[in-house]
């Protein structure tokens, strides 16, 4: 079992819809959870982080964390074509600075 | 401007050659990292350093070497022992003492072995 799992996609949504991206992790001691956006040929850009159970909202983005189910998600409201990218989920273990990355989900927003 | 710089952006290497990728940050971050990304895959950790003059192997350290002589610099050498070095190499840094310790990435170096 991979430590951090994501559906590779592509996930296709129409412009203006809600995109839902999911991530599961295996280490119950994980402390912090990150969502990065990566455009083709570019480096990852941090979108959001979350470390408490529940929801965290920032503009059109909402991160949701459920530690009991070892599940973290990212919702993108009012999706735009510019949101088309690969979204990487990353998890930090209980101790140390290392992040473990999922393989990423490709999102395509169609206008 | 604060940030992380990597050079060169593109690098071509002949088989059997060692090459060194540069990573510099002026964010005053304690920790620095090197990742490798292959097409359609996530990031895999090569080496990381939490403090000057100290570094640890990541998940795929074989065929790579690093140094951390200054806080702001963390160069990566890809040696001839690395069997499949063609990849996108990403350097990152983070505040070592932050509770969340989010990592920020440089623009990357794309290495191609000819």
pLDDT at B1 over 60: no
Report pLDDT digits (tens) over A28-74: 888 899 999 999 999 999 999 998 889 999 999 999 999 999 999 99
Contact check, Cβ <8 Å, A92/B48: no
Return the pLDDT at B99: 64
Measured in angstroms, the CA of B41 and the nearest CA of chain A are apart by: 5
CB contact under 8 A, B42 and A102: yes
Our CA dihedral for B9, B11, B17, B18, rounded to 10 degrees, sits at 0
* Eight-class DSSP state of B70: B
Structure confidence at residue B41 (pLDDT): 83
Ramachandran angles phi, psi of A87, nearest 5°: -110, 120
A-chain residue closest to B106, CA distance: A43
Q: How confident is the model at residue B29 (pLDDT cuts 50, 70, 90)?
A: very high
Share of chain A above pLDDT 90, in %: 79
pLDDT in tens, B45-71: 999 999 999 999 999 999 999 999 999
Rounded Cα gap, residues A70 and A45, in angstroms: 23
Higher pLDDT, B8 or A97: B8
Chain A residues in contact with B107 (beta carbon < 8 A): 42-43
Q: How far apart are CA B49 and CA B62, in angstroms?
A: 16
Q: Which tens digit of pLDDT belongs to each residue from B78-92?
A: 999 898 999 999 999
């Amino acid at each position: 079992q991979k430590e951090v799992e994501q559906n590779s996609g592509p996930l296709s949504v129409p412009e203006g819809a809600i995109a839902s991206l999911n991530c599961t992790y295996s280490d119950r001691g994980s402390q912090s959870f990150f969502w990065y956006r990566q455009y083709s040929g570019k480096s990852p850009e941090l979108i959001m982080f979350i470390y408490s159970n529940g929801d965290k909202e920032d503009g059109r983005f909402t991160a949701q964390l459920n530690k009991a189910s070892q599940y973290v998600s990212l919702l993108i409201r009012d999706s735009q074509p510019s949101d088309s990218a690969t979204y990487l989920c990353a998890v930090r273990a209980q101790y140390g600075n290392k992040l473990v990355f999922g393989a990423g989900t490709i999102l395509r927003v169609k206008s | 401007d604060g940030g992380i710089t990597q050079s060169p952006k593109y690098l071509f290497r002949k088989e059997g050659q060692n090459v060194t990728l540069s990573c510099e940050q002026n964010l005053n971050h304690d920790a620095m990292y090197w990742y490798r990304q292959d097409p359609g895959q996530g990031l895999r950790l090569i080496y990381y350093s939490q403090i000057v003059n100290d570094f640890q192997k990541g998940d795929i350290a074989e065929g790579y070497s690093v140094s951390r002589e200054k806080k702001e610099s963390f160069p990566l050498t890809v040696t001839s022992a690395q069997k499949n070095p063609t990849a996108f190499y990403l350097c990152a840094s983070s505040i070592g003492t932050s509770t969340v310790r989010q990592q920020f990435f440089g623009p990357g170096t794309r290495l191609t072995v000819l």
